Structure 1
């Protein structure tokens, strides 16, 4: 059964109205078996911390005053949410618990973690009771009965068993965040903001499918959206960057939250409980999202140098001060960043092994892909200099650059930094399918072409596909070493895997470049369009598919404002599709297209002079790579038939392959059987072609294999691909072997046709034609 864990923070439960809003979210998004993890309502934990401090200071009056604040807040929630009988019961429970706190304080037996636990216990109880009042089967659960630690380490197997036994599929469970117990049943906490950690721990223990962290923000932003109006909300953030941001003190996610999900398929998303309709930010596994750019700011920190720090010690220090601590090494020394109000506790815990290097620091960190960090560090330093902000400490790591300053980074300065360091040009993710002759040349040409396009657009090749293997990297593949990367990192995939990975790509634009000759791959186009992919095709199958399927694909592309370029599907690199489009856009009307649309058949017919058998030329062309693996595919004329259909559809005709008459350049019965059987009968092909050739001589014409499309005034059309005899003086007769030619007549080009001629085959020119389509797409997206 699918299970989801929802976590609501203190701001989501800060008032009766917020409890009601959360209850509506639960009613809409949860079912029996799901779990809801809650933090203490509003600022309850802060108030309880002050209560503890007044207790430690033996300030009885302060203790009483703060306890009254706690009571008033909880009582106010109860009176606003519940009807008389339930209200009375809950107020009595609250009164008993407050009396118990007072009694422990007087007896000097008050325990810090037990005191702080009340915030979560009250939240869980109130939300579960309120949901029950609304008719939803809900129970509140004390996480101290689920999570046990020994010497600070979670007993995962024991905890998993406890969760499985306690949390069935019969109810919704509202579970306390932040708290757990040790093996002696003493209350312990999981650290400040530990409720997020509680939620992901619980999800891992109950084998949940997903975790939703509901907060007061709409997701994860490039910087604080309260300070920078054009902060970018990211739809996806990879776990590694989310973890780094948490270590640097970003308030949306916290340092330990991600660790329980490390080796799981559990989905994590950050959502707004204040704006339920706003799409979430998904925190995804490495490789499922490109690295982003962030600026996260600091206030009132001390920089502490530590002589030696043991594994896990930073986590222990974070636990002591209930706050994230970031540590790093620079010039052979270890440093930690500590909130200034907690520095004395950290120094005490480190027992003389640490000293303050800089105090009362402000500043920020730029988090970005490692390839960008050096440049961003230099840019940031220059911007700070221009703003007259003194940098007291600067540090660069693989994934971030740290700047600690005297002055606070106010909203105006942060906006300037964000504009210069984060807001970049638009991004295009490129998926290349097909690494055969043309595909390999295209990828090798890509390094230079992408560098050229980068001046206008951030273009990254994120996937390479060959047969059933793929190389996929959301951050971009190194084109200078793609073959080595392919050898080391390519994996098997199926179509479902591919569509999922492409769907996960969080680029502004995506394009799939199909350089396969696979009909199966072309059938994925509708699914790719649903993932908002533009299409570039050298593959002819989609363009010649059955009319209904083809028209539906066109409609889907139009609905999503997506582009489909396929200039190389006809004529290799010749701009025939561009020419036809320009004619029609200018108001002209195409009346006839005739020509040779196959480089292979062009070469064969133009090279034959009777001096050697036609089959010898076919085998020669095969050895030179001019033909398909089985040259009968070329001789069948089906390739030219598909090309003529693409051209017909380009000028607005609704035709199918069956509407184009086809005459093969070989006897029909030679199409049957294996290639070896064909070779044994190649003499029949020679006799067939020799007969046709002699007929041409008799007519004083030359033999060519052509496609012809004629459009009548009525709008009807006649189309044929087959053997033709043309005048010796015609451009088609004098075609350079291997060239394609397109002779186009229109209303404006009736007496003097428009002629396009050039190489119609060849991996270099075809690859260049695909690059032309990619360049066109980038210009259009600009």
Structure 2
């Protein structure tokens, strides 16, 4: 025997009922099956609302909604059912709707709804499901036995939240003597008390019905069919990369359910665990998925952590000022009174070492709980033996569930790493006695980001995610996207998932929190009608709660650079080929460093100096190891390296500059290169890295362009004007050759921190002599490297090497990713 329970989302329309029938057809080939059904989706909610409107004597709009849903079912079933079966179904449903109307009319007359009447009304949806499924199965030729749970399942307790007497129910069901060829149907959520009056089974009551029926029929398996593939390590709606759990123990499943996982209720798991019946969670719309199986497993090879859950709408009570000996006595008194009032504390956080008693309760029980505490602790409060009761509202409980936590110190380490990322304030922390969970109480506003960060720390230690937000799709930006597209699958095999979540330029943007497909990003971007706004982008990033977001700035925009502090305050790393932030005023420069330190973020800008050359990282490593810069000399412009190399070959300055621009070596405005501004910016960045407190205006620049040169020209006119000084430069090259030297455009940091950018005559013994054709060379004379300098050289210009440098910086953000 196998029990199959189908939830409301599996029964929301006729198409899904027919999918359920296909599942039944597959299962019945192997063994007898019993089917437990919930109400079709939305109907129970409408029934609950219809009671409220009946009491207030408003129009029963919800009843109209229910009738419309049922009419749609009947209309669609006309294509499926033989007329005789269809007519019988219509009679059954119409009779049930008339009964429902009478019940609601009674409620309206009474102006209240007694619990017994309430239970009868809200369980009508399950009856509808049984009528419809019975008709479908009969039309397919199945023999059916319908179990009436009011007569067979003996409910104890409240009309709206009864539990089942398993032994009595088992004896009742055994007497039914159901033929083995028959499919058994039973509505969920319903039982009958000893007076044979209908009682409802409370939250997840249909799952509980299936568990009880599994015990009563001594089933081999209980299958819960729903709209998800099984139990995940976190809610997939919150954590996009939540992982399916293939198996759980009963205790783990109960802990997950109790602490917030919306799959099964602890009440459902308990009878299955007691009678050792495995439970399988399956997806009706993905029946071939393996699902999650819950049973007694050996924990030896089981993963320690199974999931991260949360309970929202929680209030925490804190009672303090107790003596160590008194706390135990007071705890007993308090929870005895709370229990008498049928209130249910969710989490108790007693700490006898500091005389505190903290506990959490649902928001809707806050006022009653406070009244109980005021009355019970009246004497202590009046005589100031304890501090006033502290009530902390708008909180959530976040829990890690698993096994053997007491043996795994790294669980606690990763938990606090996950919290550290967004500076979460922990209001309280608790480990349960069975060592199956760790719970923390935090403010509700922090819960989504906290779950994401803890999950990342615990489950993504070997799997890294980067969410990229790219601004600037000129030569470097578009080349970077091509490089990312080529490497995406290769990196995925190395457990690195780079998702491009937005692509923007100064005019428009495209955004997809799940990742933009790079095969056709350009076409998508061209068709986009969304204008770019950095403020709007940051709002989207904040609302989506990304795991490891990285802002990439491939522009030369000063406006965007001025927003880096704001971007970093959204807990995003920044990778920038844009030099403006590092060469802006010292105030911005320092503020960026302060906020990266505050939030433990990365601001990476390797390409600011040598494109793809690892200049910044190596220089920082030298300084951090105690070395000190004595002098620096370098060729810092790939474009000018290329231009001066061409000048040696007899090519004019204007033509060499045009060639450099066409190859993508120059800045967007070639005047920045020839004026020496670009080299000055790079030199300023290095000087600041060395510890010198300088502004861009402090750097002496020997420009390639004469003072009288007209700078207010468009590109075409600029090159015409540049031709006028071609002869002048040719003469300077010839003069240097006569001295067996060459001309190079050099950036210099002297011993006292004075910085210069100038054209120098270089002799053969100089490490900068052979540098040309776009190469950069940087000679660091330091405490450790003298008299021979540390020289870094290689290509320092071009879209490919610059994009590769940005790509490299992007991957370096992974060293921040929690759990590494």
TM-score scaled by length of structure 2: 0.50
Please state whether the residue corresponding to 2:767 is helix, strand or coil: coil
Question: Which of 667, 672, 682 is matched with 2:706 structurally?
Answer: 667
Offset at 1:766? Answer: 1.4
Of stretches 485-494 and 575-584 in structure 1, the one that deviates more from structure 2 is 485-494
Please state whether the residue corresponding to 2:750 is helix, strand or coil: strand
Matched, 1:520 2:408: no
**Can you list the C-alpha shifts for 1:185-219, whole angstroms capped at 9, x where unaligned?**
889999x9xxxxxxxxxxxxxxxxxxxxxxxxxxx
Aligned pairs for 1:201-600 within 5 A: 305=133, 339-341=188-190, 360=214, 361=222, 363=224, 365-366=230-231, 380=246, 390=278, 394-395=282-283, 397=285, 403=291, 417-418=306-307, 424-425=459-460, 427-447=465-485, 449-451=487-489, 455=494, 459-487=498-526, 491-600=530-639
Native 8 Å contact 2:558 2:580 kept in 1: yes
Offset at 1:480? Answer: 4.5
Native 8 Å contact 1:573 1:759 kept in 2: yes
Offset at 1:756? Answer: 0.5
Offset at 1:474? Answer: 1.9
Aligned equivalents of 1:383, 1:188: Cα separation in 2: 47
Native 8 Å contact 1:304 1:337 kept in 2: no
Aligned equivalents of 1:411, 1:605: Cα separation in 2: 70
Offset at 1:629? Answer: 4.2
Native 8 Å contact 1:540 1:569 kept in 2: yes
- Please name the residue that 1:681 is paired with: 721
**Can you list the C-alpha shifts for 1:587-619, whole angstroms capped at 9, x where unaligned?**
111111111111110000012136332212222
- Please name the residue that 2:365 is paired with: none
Native 8 Å contact 2:223 2:281 kept in 1: no
Matched, 1:741 2:607: no
Please state whether the residue corresponding to 2:754 is helix, strand or coil: strand
Offset at 1:500? Answer: 0.8
- Please name the residue that 2:270 is paired with: none
**Can you list the C-alpha shifts for 1:375-427, whole angstroms capped at 9, x where unaligned?**
966x626999xx99746674364799685879699999998653799952164
Aligned pairs for 1:146-165 within 5 A: 151-152=64-65
Of stretches 403-412 and 614-623 in structure 1, the one that deviates more from structure 2 is 403-412
Matched, 1:695 2:735: yes
**Can you list the C-alpha shifts for 1:261-285, whole angstroms capped at 9, x where unaligned?**
xxxxxxxxxxxxxxxxxxxxxxxxx
Offset at 1:755? Answer: 0.6
- Please name the residue that 1:708 is paired with: 748
Native 8 Å contact 2:568 2:595 kept in 1: yes
Aligned equivalents of 1:400, 1:491: Cα separation in 2: 40
Aligned equivalents of 2:489, 2:794: Cα separation in 1: 28
Offset at 1:577? Answer: 0.6
Residues 394, 709 of structure 1: alpha-carbon distance in 2 compared, 3 angstrom cutoff:
same
Residues 406, 770 of structure 1: alpha-carbon distance in 2 compared, 3 angstrom cutoff:
closer
TM-score scaled by length of structure 1: 0.52
Please state whether the residue corresponding to 2:678 is helix, strand or coil: helix
Q: State the number of aligned residues.
A: 477
Offset at 1:768? Answer: 1.7
Native 8 Å contact 1:702 1:725 kept in 2: yes
Aligned equivalents of 1:337, 1:770: Cα separation in 2: 62
Please state whether the residue corresponding to 1:499 is helix, strand or coil: helix
**Can you list the C-alpha shifts for 1:699-723, whole angstroms capped at 9, x where unaligned?**
43211111111133xxxx1101121
Question: Which of 719, 742, 748 is matched with 2:755 structurally?
Answer: 719
Residues 757, 302 of structure 1: alpha-carbon distance in 2 compared, 3 angstrom cutoff:
farther
Offset at 1:552? Answer: 1.6
Of stretches 407-416 and 503-512 in structure 1, the one that deviates more from structure 2 is 407-416
Native 8 Å contact 1:304 1:357 kept in 2: no
Aligned equivalents of 1:463, 1:450: Cα separation in 2: 16
Offset at 1:693? Answer: 1.9
Native 8 Å contact 2:575 2:809 kept in 1: yes
Native 8 Å contact 1:148 1:154 kept in 2: no
Residues 338, 680 of structure 1: alpha-carbon distance in 2 compared, 3 angstrom cutoff:
farther
Structure 2 residue runs without a partner (length 5+): 1-46, 69-103, 116-124, 138-158, 162-183, 200-208, 215-221, 251-272, 308-400, 403-454
- Please name the residue that 1:607 is paired with: 646
**Can you list the C-alpha shifts for 1:670-706, whole angstroms capped at 9, x where unaligned?**
3232233323333322133123223323443211111
- Please name the residue that 2:814 is paired with: 778
Aligned equivalents of 1:409, 1:302: Cα separation in 2: 35
Offset at 1:302? Answer: 9.9
Of stretches 450-459 and 756-765 in structure 1, the one that deviates more from structure 2 is 450-459
Aligned equivalents of 1:443, 1:322: Cα separation in 2: 58
Offset at 1:304? Answer: 8.8
Offset at 1:648? Answer: 0.8
Question: Which of 766, 786, 796 is matched with 1:730 structurally?
Answer: 766
Native 8 Å contact 2:632 2:750 kept in 1: yes
Aligned equivalents of 1:543, 1:672: Cα separation in 2: 26
Please state whether the residue corresponding to 2:626 is helix, strand or coil: coil
Residues 527, 616 of structure 1: alpha-carbon distance in 2 compared, 3 angstrom cutoff:
same
Residues 480, 685 of structure 1: alpha-carbon distance in 2 compared, 3 angstrom cutoff:
same
- Please name the residue that 2:449 is paired with: none
Aligned equivalents of 1:511, 1:657: Cα separation in 2: 28
Residues 691, 145 of structure 1: alpha-carbon distance in 2 compared, 3 angstrom cutoff:
farther
Aligned equivalents of 1:382, 1:552: Cα separation in 2: 49
Native 8 Å contact 1:568 1:769 kept in 2: yes
**Can you list the C-alpha shifts for 1:606-657, whole angstroms capped at 9, x where unaligned?**
1213633221222222223322344222211111111111111111111110
Of stretches 686-695 and 654-663 in structure 1, the one that deviates more from structure 2 is 686-695
Aligned equivalents of 2:620, 2:742: Cα separation in 1: 32
Native 8 Å contact 2:282 2:292 kept in 1: yes
Aligned equivalents of 1:676, 1:581: Cα separation in 2: 41
**Can you list the C-alpha shifts for 1:354-392, whole angstroms capped at 9, x where unaligned?**
xx999644648336769x999966x626999xx997466
Question: Which of 673, 681, 706 is matched with 1:642 structurally?
Answer: 681
Residues 374, 435 of structure 1: alpha-carbon distance in 2 compared, 3 angstrom cutoff:
closer
Structure 1 residue runs without a partner (length 5+): 1-111, 122-141, 156-180, 193-254, 256-300, 310-320, 324-334, 347-355
Native 8 Å contact 2:601 2:816 kept in 1: no
Aligned equivalents of 1:565, 1:399: Cα separation in 2: 47
Please state whether the residue corresponding to 1:676 is helix, strand or coil: helix
Residues 541, 115 of structure 1: alpha-carbon distance in 2 compared, 3 angstrom cutoff:
closer
Question: Which of 601, 612, 631 is matched with 2:670 structurally?
Answer: 631
